[in-house]
Amino acid sequence: MQTPTRAKIRLCVEHPLGVGQAVPLSPEQAHYLFGVMRKGVGDAIALFNGRDGEWTSEVVEAGKKRGILACREQAAPQQMPPDLWLIFAPIKKERTDFIVEKAAELGCARILPVQTEFTNSGRIRQDRLQAHALEAAEQCLGTFVPPVDEMVPLSKLLAGWDGARRILWADESLVGAAETLAGLAPGPWAILIGPEGGFSEAEREKLRALPFVTPVSLGPRILRADTAAVAAITLWQAALGDWR
């Protein structure tokens, strides 16, 4: 929605960033910058690493499969998301990609795919989902990339859950109910979104019994899982997060 006034090309790197810091490129990054984007020595590239904010850097060495960038100045401070996790059951491929992209854009700190009884997909490509989160941060001028976990069964995740982090459960049986986020306390939270088909009755009973789980309604309409994820993150950010 906004034309960046900072360097147009943004790269996420592992390397520390700071005044005068030299940042070596991976072969893939060198190929992308110099082969695909036709950049060369002297061009400006924006860098971030999830810790040191965004830095404007300059290409000082450019090779076919290698290159070095030199940090010049900080262009934006590090912006960390609030302490919100997203737990979701992967659905169809495009919609799963979409959920990860939107969670990264809207400011989630961690993304946890879970397998539920009605989860359609038995496995996910964690690396692909992580790449989507990274791309969302690169495109939206973010300086933080939420880690995407490997998928685990929901039952296992809940068994080892630290109750200090509360779970906001988008409970599809509450469609039209008045269970809103009003009155909830800030702090560490996770949002839980079910798969197409919802949770099983056994899962629902378990969730209802957990003291750290709060069910919430997302309005009077039935929402697809991807829509529910975006709506729930938005409401949490506005009520308890950094959109206040």
Q: Is 196 in the site for its own copies (CB under 8 A)?
A: yes
207 lies in the site for its own copies, by CB under 8 A: no
**Of 24-32, 58-66, 100-108, 201-209, which segment contacts its own copies by CB under 8 A?**
100-108
Q: Which CB, 30 or 100, lies closer to its own copies? A: 100
Query: Residues 21, 56, 79, 214: which binds its own copies (CB under 8 A)?
Result: 79
- 45: contact with its own copies by CB under 8 A: no
φ, ψ at 61 (rounded to 5°):
-145, 135
Round the CA-based radius of gyration of the chain to a whole number and report it. 20
Residue 238 makes CB contacts below 8 A (sequence gap 6+) with 244
**Nearest distance from C-beta of residue 172 to its own copies, angstroms:** 4
Give the C-alpha separation, 203 to 116, whole Å.
8
Buried b (16+ CB within 10 A) or exposed e, 89-126: bbbeeeebbbbbbbbbbbbbbbbbbbbbbebeeeebee
Residue pair 134/50 in contact (Cβ under 8 Å)? The answer is: no
Contact flag: residue 5 with its own copies (CB under 8 A): no
Q: Quick check: 214 and 170 in contact, CB under 8 A?
A: no
Closer residue to its own copies, CB minimum distance, 27 or 176: 176
Return the closest-CA partner of residue 47 out of 147, 143, 135, 146.
143
Interface residue with its own copies, options 141, 152, 184, 210 (CB under 8 A): 141
Q: Is 121 in the site for its own copies (CB under 8 A)?
A: no
Q: Out of 180, 188, 205, 208, point to the residue binding its own copies (CB under 8 A).
A: 180
* Residues found near its own copies in the complex (CB under 8 A): 1-3, 79, 98, 102, 105-107, 139-142, 170, 172-173, 175, 180, 193-198, 217-225, 227-228, 230-231, 234-235, 237-238, 241-244
